[in-house]
Structure 1
């Protein structure tokens, strides 16, 4: 028995090492990255990713060092990967080419994308700069008569079919269009990110979620030229909390149903967040031609500071306000709760619930709402059309129909 004890000990150590292999690190400098911000470092990043993704280890890390500025052209990091966990650690600065011509012949909707990677964790103290200024200058939204204006511009970061992943502690600025997209993913968390672009930059949503489920966005500061966070179709079980939003268009569900498609968004909880100088606060927007449901939504513990439309549902969303003809179709909006919302409105109508005559909003509840005008002594009003629900302690008094 005594002779067997050392053997058992050795076997135990071998088993332990096999179960928890060492983390492999793949530094982009080791693959030839210059880190000077002028030469294209795309290939070294791809080589580092290739080796990390194929490492025979429990986890692997791609390292982007603090000491460098790395110019990258459009990249797609593909999975699936052999390690159960992939760390992509950005401590340095990553910049895009400032010229839209770089995307000639390429997918102009993306810059850096991860696809089909499970267990991906992107984080670090670094900066990701989309350098979107030239894109903004040729945007069709602001320059519709400009020859060759662009409707589609790159998203800085895309996570496509990336389950059980995270993005945290990253600073993202100046995206040509949307800053961060989570698409067709499940169990993805975004925490402690800062996203910034100028207030007049076109279509620069901070975070857009689409066809994704069990998503958390927490403890982040977002100021852009469009929605701070927008929730697209076929998304469910979304938790958003502790967000500082502004400037921007608020936190929006939608717009949905633009092309008459069937939509479903449900189980959305937005809480403990603030809005400063935004055009909207808690917003739901759908096109009249859409079908389907938005349901089981909670807006809770929100603070508004000089917001144009603190609470707004627009079931008649249109490219040009008031120009779309009334339709008999619509996305059904139901079971939406507003609880403990406070602050100031910069317009006279603080609550706008504009619902369809043919598919009215129902199950809308308001409790402990206290909104005041930024103008001393100015009274506020609420405007409701085709809405059914209940209210308790609402100021200005809402116009819900029981």
Structure 2
């Protein structure tokens, strides 16, 4: 074989290999535009999204990807992406903007609790690459909310969660922006090993029930490197949760990072191994909060809040074990959720209320194992003093201002 023929064969082989690789990449990539999505800001693109998902989920490959292209806006009606999928990893790449229907009437006859959902999908990776945006267009729901419009005929108490994950294990959300969800922005329920990293969540401070992230019945959940500004809890931790870590999160406006409320209806609570570290609270109504209904049972235990910074926060450290429907007018109950082994360490900042540390525990089921170390909370008003209030709470304090208030 002469040298020219050898070069030609190498060229043909290289070209064929490149074409094969390109074909393989194309087979594994499912662009919603190829399924009829219009991205005209008006037309419902739900069917295109579902068809792209179905093909990606059923593809006989190790890894597949649904692609939502950049610089385009897609209106999507309420839909759920179902698994399980054939691929061990399925990527949902959102470089563009996904927008909810503007009118609540789009949910008529359907499930008003969610907009976009993933169910029974393992190995799911939702990634926005820093550009992806999910816009819940919640104003129509807020304008008919019973919380703010109780006299409105047919006001609503339930509104859609923007992005719901149900029974999705070994999954993640990263590099995304969420705005104006009708209610909770991200819900993680029944998941094991789930991470949320580098997300920005924004809705008005007066928007009702717009929690940033809510975790329910899930284990091994990691939330990192995120900024959350909403009308409710930045992160809320519900029942039957364990091994939750929240690190490097900025919160505000909002209601803080909350464990609870738990035990409503007298159910048995199981929450343990919660870590909140390196968090900044800016102008929130609460900081590190644990909230349980006095009719509840069960336990909250092994909780650590450390390296927290508060700026103009109403209730920097708060435990309320006597939560009920009529605030500050609860009839004392003999039941309660046992709260134990809660640690606060390296906490600094300012309080806008007189009581910077407020630990209100049950007389029947007191809190024990409360530890406070290296805490300095001052008044946001220069020259004013703040106090600590503890009821039925046992533990130890080292270098705590204001204090001490715990029982030995």
Both structures adopt the same fold (TM-score exceeding 0.5): yes
2:55 aligns with 51
How far does residue 68 in structure 1 lie from its aligned partner after superposition?
A: 1.3
Residue in structure 1 matching 2:86, options 82, 98, 108:
82
Q: How many residues align?
A: 385
Superposed, 1:117-128 pairs within 5 Å as: 117-124=121-128, 125-128=131-134
1:375 aligns with 381
1:240 aligns with 246
Residue in structure 1 matching 2:305, options 283, 299, 305:
299
Deviations 1:305-360 (A, max 9, x none): 00000000000112331133111100000000000000110111100000001000
2:76 aligns with 72
1:186 aligns with 192
RMSD: 1.3
How far does residue 137 in structure 1 lie from its aligned partner after superposition?
A: 0.8
1:37 aligns with 41
How far does residue 22 in structure 1 lie from its aligned partner after superposition?
A: 8.5
How far does residue 370 in structure 1 lie from its aligned partner after superposition?
A: 0.4
CA distance in 1, matches of 2:152, 2:387: 41
Work out whether 1:224 is the aligned partner of 2:230. yes
CA distance in 2, matches of 1:313, 1:142: 27
2:259 aligns with 253
1:175 aligns with 181
Deviations 1:205-235 (A, max 9, x none): 0000000000000000000000000000000
Work out whether 1:320 is the aligned partner of 2:320. no
Residue in structure 2 matching 1:366, options 343, 368, 372:
372
How far does residue 23 in structure 1 lie from its aligned partner after superposition?
A: 7.0
1:156 aligns with 162
Work out whether 1:98 is the aligned partner of 2:102. yes
SS at match of 2:43: strand
2:13 aligns with none
How far does residue 144 in structure 1 lie from its aligned partner after superposition?
A: 1.6
CA distance in 2, matches of 1:396, 1:346: 14
CA distance in 2, matches of 1:157, 1:244: 20
Q: Which blocks of at least 5 consecutive residues in structure 2 are unaligned?
A: 1-16
How far does residue 37 in structure 1 lie from its aligned partner after superposition?
A: 1.1
How far does residue 275 in structure 1 lie from its aligned partner after superposition?
A: 0.1
CA distance in 1, matches of 2:106, 2:26: 39
2:14 aligns with none
1:4 aligns with none
Deviations 1:167-186 (A, max 9, x none): 00000000000000000000
CA distance in 1, matches of 2:371, 2:165: 35
Work out whether 1:109 is the aligned partner of 2:108. no
Deviations 1:224-250 (A, max 9, x none): 000000000000000000000000000
CA distance in 1, matches of 2:104, 2:338: 40
Work out whether 1:343 is the aligned partner of 2:346. no
Work out whether 1:290 is the aligned partner of 2:296. yes
CA distance in 2, matches of 1:127, 1:84: 26
CA distance in 2, matches of 1:63, 1:249: 35
SS at match of 1:149: coil
CA distance in 1, matches of 2:75, 2:25: 33
SS at match of 1:38: coil
CA distance in 1, matches of 2:111, 2:32: 24
SS at match of 1:295: strand
How far does residue 21 in structure 1 lie from its aligned partner after superposition?
A: 9.0
Relative to structure 1, is the Cα distance of residues 317 and 155 closer, same or farther in structure 2, using a 3 angstrom cutoff? same
How far does residue 145 in structure 1 lie from its aligned partner after superposition?
A: 1.9
Q: Which blocks of at least 5 consecutive residues in structure 1 are unaligned?
A: 1-12
CA distance in 1, matches of 2:179, 2:239: 26
CA distance in 1, matches of 2:25, 2:31: 19
Is the 1:351–1:398 Cα contact (8 Å) retained in structure 2? no
How far does residue 132 in structure 1 lie from its aligned partner after superposition?
A: 0.3
